[in-house]
Amino acid sequence: MTTSVSAILPSSAVTWVHVWRRNFLVWRKLALPSMLGNLADPMIYLFGLGFGLGMMVGQVDGVPYIAFLAAGTVASSVMMSASFESLYSAFSRMHEQRTWDALMHTPLTLGDVLFGEVCWAASKATLSGVAIMIVASALGLTQVDGMLIAVPAVVLAGFAFACIAIVVTALAPGYDFFMFYQTLLLTPMMLLSGVFFPRGQLPQIVQTVSACLPLHHAISLIRPALLGRPVEDGLLHVAVLLGYAVVGLSAAALLLRRRLLG
C-alpha cells in the first residue's frame, strides 16, 4: 500500500463503488430491521411532538406545527442516519472487523474505501429522509412536487454529515468516544437549528452561532421545498454544506492515512 498523498484519494471515478456495493449487500440481509431502527426515533418525534404540542401551539410560520416539524424531522433524520453509519458502523468495519484492511489488500486504496464509506452513509441517510417524506406526504403534511426538489438537498446533507462524522471515527479510540460527539454536537445542533421551533425565537447571539451549523443549512433547503415555498439564499446553503463535506473528507483522509498507513 502506498503512503503517498494519492493514497487518500479514490484511485478512479468508479472503484469506490465496490466498497459501496459491499456495504449494500451486507445491509440488504437486514434491511427491514435496519430501516425500522432508523425511522423509529424520528417518527416518535413527529407524531409525539407533532400531535401533542401541535394541539397547543397551533400554527408556526403560517403552517400547522406538525407540518413545520415534519420538514425539520426529515433533515434531522438525515443527520442522525448519516452520522451513526459513519460512526458506529464504519468504526466496526475499520477497527473491530478489520474489513478496511482486507479491502486495502486488494487493488482498492484507502481513498476508495473512505469515499465508498461516506457515499454509503449518505445513501442510507437519503433512504431514511425519503421514507419520512413519503409518510409526511401521505398524511398531507408536505407537497408531493416539493419532494422532488428536496431530494437533492437530502443527498447533499447526508454526504456532508457523513464526511463530518468520519473525522470523529478517524480519531476514535473506541465506541465510547462517539458519545461525546452525539451529546455535545448532534443533540445541541438539533435544538439550535430550527428542527422543533423557528430559530428566530432564539437570542441573537445564539442565532449567529446556529447559522454556522450544517443542520441549519440543510433545513433551510429542505423545509421550504417540502412546504412549497421558495428557498432563500439557496446557493449559500449549498456552498456551506459542500464546504463541510470537502473539509471533513479531506481531514478524515489525512487522519486515516496516518492511523492506518503509518
Residue with cell 475499520: 94
199 burial level (CB within 10 Å; 0-12, 13-18, 19+): middle
DSSP assignments along 144-206, one per residue: HHHHHHHHHHHHHHHHHHHHHHHHHHHH-SSGGGHHHHIIIIIHHHHHHTTSSS-GGGS-HHH
Neighbours of 4 (CB within 10 A): 9
pLDDT at residue 173 greater than cutoff 70: yes
Average pLDDT for residues 125-140, to the nearest whole number? 91
Max distance between CA atoms of the chain, in angstroms, equals 61
pLDDT at residue 6 greater than cutoff 90: no
Long-range contacts of 199-203 (CB under 8 A, 24+ apart): none
Task: Give the span between the Cα atoms of 9 and 113, in whole angstroms.
Answer: 9
C-alpha cell at 71: 420538514
Q: Which residue has the higher pLDDT, 235 or 55?
A: 235
pLDDT at residue 140 greater than cutoff 90: no
Task: Give the span between the Cα atoms of 160 and 70, in whole angstroms.
Answer: 21
Buried b / exposed e over 69-103, threshold 16 CB at 10 Å, is bbbbbbbbbbbbbbbbbbbebbbebbbeeebbeeb
Answer for the pair 232, 224: CB distance below 8 angstroms, yes or no. Answer: yes
- 3-class DSSP state of 104: coil
**What are the extents of the domains in the chain?**
11-261
Picking from 86, 78, 76, the residue whose alpha carbon sits closest to that of residue 193 is 76
User: Using 50, 70 and 90 to split pLDDT, how confident is the model at 8?
Assistant: low
Task: Give the span between the Cα atoms of 104 and 8, in whole angstroms.
Answer: 12
pLDDT at residue 123 greater than cutoff 70: yes
User: Using 50, 70 and 90 to split pLDDT, how confident is the model at 3?
Assistant: very low
